[in-house]
Amino acid sequence: MTNQINLQSVNLHYASVAFRERSLKTMLSSLLKKKIKRTKIVDIHALKNINVQIVPGERVGLLGHNGAGKSTFLKMIAGLYPISSGTRVVEGVVRSLFDIGLGFEPEATGRENILYRSLLLGLTPRQVRAIEHEIVEFADIGEFIDYPIKTYSAGMQVRLAFAISTAVGGDILLLDEVIGAGDANFMTKARKRITQLIERAEILLLASHDFETLETICNRGLVFHHGEIVFDGQMPDAIRRYKEINHL
């Protein structure tokens, strides 16, 4: 089976109330309060008639203003957002580096969270045991690895999450902007790790506003505008098109 991404006439809708609320808890709370004016639920057409095929060897940069659909596109590829219509074919092991804190349990220790997070990434307990030492060493948070996550600083949480998320690569790598992961020394390690993941991945999708990074890494560019792909071509041409659309 060949690793690939093939999207035909893909549309994705979600309810506006879910888009506005920061969490499911707050959304349900607002809906259940009788004294609050009832929220009108309107569908947001987040992705519109997407037709894209991406094959091994391609490094694809995603450009677009905030809210243009880049992150939604990546999460749809990752399987986090179900499509409303069309055909979505994604063949290969997908690894995503966004929402890297997903799966952390505040009351559990860092070591326990390595297991929980890794299981969410699709690893088996045996595979987790094989890479646990490497994750602990890379995160470099010392004795705190055996303390509850709720005692960690924000930087420590990001470092551990990054170490877990990048411990195993995949055929298809999804990146949403460059990840800030702590002090200068750790950032050097983080950039090296991301570079290694990119080199090993057969397909890369990178959403970023950093033109230099996109031109350095990517050979193809997709420009998003209000949920549509309005340009698909060489990366330098994609950057020019993005600037034209946004009057830059």
In a domain, 122, yes or no: no
Question: At 65, which CATH number?
Answer: 3.40.50.300
In a domain, 51, yes or no: yes
Residue 67 has pLDDT above 80, yes or no: yes
Inter-CA distances, 71 with 48, 65, 66, 175, Å: 14, 11, 9, 9
> How many domains does the structure of the chain reveal?
1
In a domain, 178, yes or no: no
In a domain, 201, yes or no: no
Q: For residues 206 and 71, is the Cβ–Cβ distance under 8 A?
A: no
Q: Which residue has the higher pLDDT, 3 or 25?
A: 3
* CA atoms of 170 and 56, how far apart (whole Å): 12
| pTM beyond 0.85, yes or no | no
CA nearest neighbour of 226 among 2, 101, 18, 44: 44
- 195-207 pLDDT, tens digit per residue, is 888 899 999 999 9
- 112-155 pLDDT, tens digit per residue, is 999 988 887 778 899 999 999 999 999 999 999 999 999 998 88
In a domain, 72, yes or no: yes
Domain that holds residue 238: 4-93+206-245
CA nearest neighbour of 96 among 175, 171, 199: 175
Q: Which residues contact 74 (CB under 8 A, 6 or more apart)?
A: 62, 96, 98, 174, 176, 205, 207
In a domain, 31, yes or no: yes
In a domain, 189, yes or no: no
In a domain, 105, yes or no: no
Residue with tokens 């999708």: 205
Q: Which residues contact 84 (CB under 8 A, 6 or more apart)?
A: 11, 12, 13
